[in-house]
Amino acid sequence: MNLRKTLSVIILLLMSSVTTANSGPIPHDRLLTDDELIALLESRGNPAVESIKQLHVEKSDEGLQALASYFREAFAKRYYFDWRMMDQRFTDYQQRFSGKRGGHIRMKDIHMGLYPSRARWKLPYENLKGNSVTAYELRHLARQHKVLDMAFVHHYEERNPVYVDYFTGQMRSLNEAFATGEYENDEGGNGVYESFRAGYRAMNWLQVHAFYLGSEHYDDSDQLELIRTMLHLGASLHAGNPSFRYGNHQTRGMVALAMIAILFRDYAGTDTWYRDAMTILGEHLQKEVNPDGFQFERSVHYHVGDIYNYFRVLQLAQLNDIEVPEAWRLKLKAMFDAMVILARPDRRLPVFQDDTNDPWAENNGMDDSMLLGAILFDDPFINYFAGKSVDSGIYWLLRQQQVERLMRLDRRQPEILSAELPDTGYYVMRDGWKKGGLYMAITAGLSEYKPDHQHGDMLGLVARANGQEILPNYQVRYFLEDYDYFKNSYVKNVAIIDGIAQGQGWKSNKGGSGFGKWEKLPRPRVITWIKRENWDFFAGSHDGYDEMGVQYYRKVFFLKGLGWIVRDIFESAGDNHEFQQVWQGHYSDEGTGNHHRSTFADGSGLEVLQLGGQAESASTSVRRGKGNLVYTMSGEAGEYTTFLYPFESFETRIPDSFFHEGRLSAKGWEIHTAEGNGVVTKSISTDARLVLDHSSGALLLAATWFETGDQRLELSERSDFYVEGHSAEQAEVTFLGHRPVGFNSRSGENKVSGRVQPGSRIPVQ
């Protein structure tokens, strides 16, 4: 045996000891040497790998060159796109996305203006502008997303080598920092090898690698350094994630680990990485995607983020003919179906919880993410929401034939109207799919695990009508000083008590990035959810003010085609309180203090009118350009009955006659108000304070009795119900109260009495 072969054997023996120390052949506490990059290859009957190992024994440098060459070819076949077609793909990219160039250049300039190629990775230190690098900035440096922008500019500038040098220098500086211990670890909350940041970095650097592989300046030693770096990141991610833990940070890390394992599967131990990563990701799908298909943190941002995470793995596995459990596909399909349920008629999604892509924006796009669903499932209802062309971010995750196939999608408008995600706690009222149709979403859920991204908006509403955000919610950004304010109740459409917002005990995180969590949030209870052809009904409660001795209930009646009635009910043990409604928007007082109007550029708007308990005061305020309206009443108990009436134009606003006659006819509905004298409509007599009449029946609100023909129903206290039909032969009554009440009913000589539960039918015959 010659000296070279003897050394190879010794290296392999050393690797076996590393296996015991690091639970895998590839160590996580140091980077591999050049010899180890060869020694840890597994041939598995692969003659090319065998040849590399033999060549390295005989001619070390040539063996390393062969290794770089082997992985160049492997990467062309294994990665999302073939780097050998980079010139053609980039020409196509520029034609499709001509407006992206400026953004890539801007991001490149920001990064290169702040950090040298040989960056530092430990706080404190100053950037190139002489400013202290914040924890937030260090975390983004660790993600390396702007280094990907440089790779784009490299091609815009005809393969300018300066960006290759910058990238390889930054990569080597991190590896050197790790070797000397001069990097942020997880103890301070800003670790550069923390799962999310390391995973994000791995994804970005793999794409950068693909962008540079065809560039002469990106030589064999640079490529081998990338392989060495990826294997170290893989070992670190594997060692740092022995078991499942909640949150998207681990998900991102395990996606990166699975990708590394697929792309560099010739190395010993990567099969274990893949298996373990897929096992943990499977647990995330099982535990963090609710049975109704929505991500457990209840945010569109994190739901879509997880879709991209799982798509990356599923797409790469399928391209490499690697089996993925069928349960993955089923759960991922449910995630797209959940977005169909939440979708608005304008094919966008509302803002929920920590949506962070566009601070202060009032909706979320869905066309790009639904394109992923179109690629995976080609479901016409999912395709309906997919963009007309591939998004710039998705483009580089697809093979060219997939991009071309997206131009021929079969699209079909969904058939569902009002719908729900009961496990997540979102309830959607929708009267159709016309672009200007009425839409409202009610939030009534709290994540059992890690509710860190939840806002103080329990039983909050968001609504759209006539193409406008009539009751908006707003996206946020973690580092903004008023982030916690925008997470809480004064920028929501909720009810509060004594000016106390729902979110209590805000605590910023130890990393200092601005993100934090609430000590306490209300726990919801859904009482009733009913969907009918002409109306929907939701009733719920939460415990946010129980410790103050106040029970709170919210009811929402959707009069399809017309608007909504919101009933907020406050019941206390005797102390006086201030009961408040908060509505988002810019409103003007229409003269009574209980009637406010917002208007939009096209002349449409929203009228907010108190038809029940009258507010003692109404105030408006503005922050970050976002306005709100707050109604206040005081007492031992309180009750609002609020009409939310979206109008299309000046002519269709609430007419002045309504305020004199107490009667409004519009869109197939008649609204009748009464001041204790009762209401007679068609054949119904009642003491209801508000009657919402339709051809199919009538909603009677705040009533104790009604009569029709020889039928009479009496309740033990004022509540709400629906009378279906208008004659003695047809009448059926559905109780729409917020808690059980006693009743007596009479039909001719027949009498029935008892207690009725919310949502139940009351016998009247």
Query: Is the pLDDT at 764 greater than 90, yes or no?
Result: no
Do 453 and 575 fall into the same domain?
Answer: yes
pLDDT tens figures, 531-569: 999 999 999 999 999 999 999 999 999 999 999 999 999
The Cα 385–Cα 369 span in angstroms is: 9
Mean pLDDT along residues 299-304? 96
According to DSSP H, which parts of 349-415 are helical?
A: 367-377, 380-383, 392-395, 400-405
The conformation of residue 359, written as its DSSP 8-state character, comes to T
Query: Is the pLDDT at 129 greater than 90, yes or no?
Result: yes
Mean pLDDT along residues 396-423? 92
Q: Please identify, among 603, 620, 647, the residue that sits at the C-terminal boundary of a domain.
A: 647
Look at the chain and report how many structural domains it folds into: 4
pLDDT tens figures, 347-387: 999 999 999 999 999 999 999 999 999 998 999 999 999 99
The Cα 181–Cα 192 span in angstroms is: 12
pLDDT tens figures, 216-252: 999 999 999 999 999 999 999 999 999 999 988 999 9
Query: Is the pLDDT at 675 greater than 60, yes or no?
Result: no
**SS3 state at 7:** helix
The Cα 590–Cα 611 span in angstroms is: 14
Do 391 and 496 fall into the same domain?
Answer: no
Query: Is the pLDDT at 608 greater than 90, yes or no?
Result: yes
Task: Check residues 141 and 8 and name the one with the higher pLDDT.
Answer: 141
pLDDT computed for residue 449 by the predictor: 85
Tell me the residue type at 245. Answer: R
Q: Which helix (H) or strand (E) holds 260?
A: helix 248-263
Do 275 and 344 fall into the same domain?
Answer: no
Non-local CB neighbours of 577 within 8 Å, separated by 6+ positions: 497, 498, 548, 550, 570, 634, 635, 636, 638
**SS3 state at 78:** helix
Mean pLDDT along residues 674-702? 81
Q: Characterise 66 by phi-psi region: left (phi > 0), alpha (psi -120 to 50), beta (else).
A: alpha
Task: Check residues 473 and 508 and name the one with the higher pLDDT.
Answer: 473
In this structure, the number of other CB atoms found within 10 A of the CB of residue 368 comes to 16
Q: b or e along 708-717 (b: 16 or more beta carbons within 10 Å of the residue's beta carbon)?
A: beebbbbbee
Residue that the structure tokens 């793909």 belong to: 89
Residue that the structure tokens 């859904």 belong to: 526
Query: Is the pLDDT at 680 greater than 90, yes or no?
Result: no
pLDDT computed for residue 514 by the predictor: 74
pLDDT computed for residue 681 by the predictor: 63
Question: 325 vs 317, 328, 330, CA distance in Å?
Answer: 11, 6, 9
Edge-to-edge order in the sheet of strand 439-443: 419-421, 426-430, 439-443, 461-465, 468-471
pLDDT computed for residue 632 by the predictor: 98
Do 198 and 165 fall into the same domain?
Answer: yes
CA nearest 213: which of 394, 79, 64?
79
Strand partners, 559: 535, 563
pLDDT computed for residue 679 by the predictor: 63
Report the Cα–Cα distance between both ends of the chain, in Å, rounded. 101
Query: Is the pLDDT at 6 greater than 70, yes or no?
Result: no
Phi, psi of 402 (to 5 degrees): -70, -40
Do 400 and 520 fall into the same domain?
Answer: no
pLDDT computed for residue 22 by the predictor: 45
Q: Are 42 and 267 in contact (CB under 8 A)?
A: yes
Question: 547 vs 458, 572, 734, CA distance in Å?
Answer: 16, 11, 32
Indicate the average pLDDT of the chain: 92
Phi, psi of 507 (to 5 degrees): -130, 120
pLDDT band at 682 (very low <50, low <70, confident <90, very high): low
The Cα 315–Cα 324 span in angstroms is: 10
CA nearest 128: which of 139, 141, 113, 150?
113
pLDDT band at 765 (very low <50, low <70, confident <90, very high): low
Percentage of the chain with pLDDT > 90? Answer: 82
The Cα 560–Cα 532 span in angstroms is: 9
Do 184 and 123 fall into the same domain?
Answer: yes
pLDDT tens figures, 242-262: 999 998 899 999 999 999 999
Distance, C-alpha 602 to centroid of its chain:
30
pLDDT computed for residue 729 by the predictor: 56
Do 306 and 278 fall into the same domain?
Answer: no
Q: Are 378 and 390 in contact (CB under 8 A)?
A: no
CATH code of the domain containing 449: 2.70.98.70
Query: Is the pLDDT at 511 greater than 70, yes or no?
Result: no
Q: Characterise 633 by phi-psi region: left (phi > 0), alpha (psi -120 to 50), beta (else).
A: beta
Mean pLDDT along residues 143-162? 97
Query: Is the pLDDT at 68 greater than 60, yes or no?
Result: yes
Do 103 and 226 fall into the same domain?
Answer: yes
Handedness of CA 307, 312, 316, 319 (dihedral sign): positive
Do 269 and 298 fall into the same domain?
Answer: no
pLDDT computed for residue 502 by the predictor: 97
Look up the domain containing 269 and give its range: 3-288
pLDDT computed for residue 677 by the predictor: 54
Q: Residue 312 is encoded by which pair of tokens? A: 């990356």
Q: Please identify, among 383, 416, 449, the residue that sits at the C-terminal boundary of a domain.
A: 416
DSSP 277-323: HHHHHHHHHHHHB-TTS-BTT--HHHHHHHHHHHHHHHHHHHHTT--
Burial environment of residue 649 by CB neighbours within 10 A (0 to 12, 13 to 18, 19 or more)? exposed
Angle, CA 421 vertex, CA 415 and CA 425 arms, to 5°: 145
Q: Please identify, among 622, 647, 672, the residue that sits at the C-terminal boundary of a domain.
A: 647
Question: 331 vs 326, 379, 568, CA distance in Å?
Answer: 9, 15, 37
In this structure, the number of other CB atoms found within 10 A of the CB of residue 364 comes to 23
Q: Which helix (H) or strand (E) holds 662?
A: none
pLDDT tens figures, 611-661: 988 999 999 999 999 999 999 999 999 999 999 999 999 999 999 999 988
Query: Is the pLDDT at 12 greater than 80, yes or no?
Result: no
Do 392 and 435 fall into the same domain?
Answer: no
Question: 617 vs 23, 42, 631, CA distance in Å?
Answer: 67, 76, 6
Residue that the structure tokens 């690098």 belong to: 133
Non-local CB neighbours of 122 within 8 Å, separated by 6+ positions: 177, 182, 183, 184
Do 177 and 257 fall into the same domain?
Answer: yes
pLDDT band at 288 (very low <50, low <70, confident <90, very high): very high
pLDDT tens figures, 706-755: 888 888 899 999 999 999 875 545 578 999 999 999 999 888 788 899 99
Query: Is the pLDDT at 304 greater than 60, yes or no?
Result: yes
Non-local CB neighbours of 124 within 8 Å, separated by 6+ positions: 132, 133
* Residues found in the chain: 765
DSSP 85-128: GHHHHHHHHHHHTGGGHHHHHHHHHHHHHH--SS--BSSS-B-T
Query: Is the pLDDT at 157 greater than 90, yes or no?
Result: yes
Residue that the structure tokens 């009743």 belong to: 743
Tell me the residue type at 320. Answer: N
pLDDT tens figures, 78-117: 999 999 999 999 999 999 999 999 999 999 999 999 999 9
pLDDT band at 696 (very low <50, low <70, confident <90, very high): confident
Mean pLDDT along residues 694-705? 92
DSSP 441-500: EEE----SS-GGG--S-TT-EEEEETTEEEE------TTSTTHHHHTSGGGSS-EEETTB
SS3 string, 692-757, reads EEECCEEEEEEEEEEEECCEEEEEEEEEEEEEECCCCCCCEEEECCCCCEEEEEEECCEEEEEEEC
pLDDT computed for residue 569 by the predictor: 97
Q: Residue 716 is encoded by which pair of tokens? A: 């033990």
Do 696 and 611 fall into the same domain?
Answer: no
Strand partners, 691: 672, 700
Task: Check residues 660 and 298 and name the one with the higher pLDDT.
Answer: 298
The Cα 696–Cα 707 span in angstroms is: 17
pLDDT computed for residue 508 by the predictor: 83
Phi, psi of 470 (to 5 degrees): -80, -30
Query: Is the pLDDT at 121 greater than 70, yes or no?
Result: yes
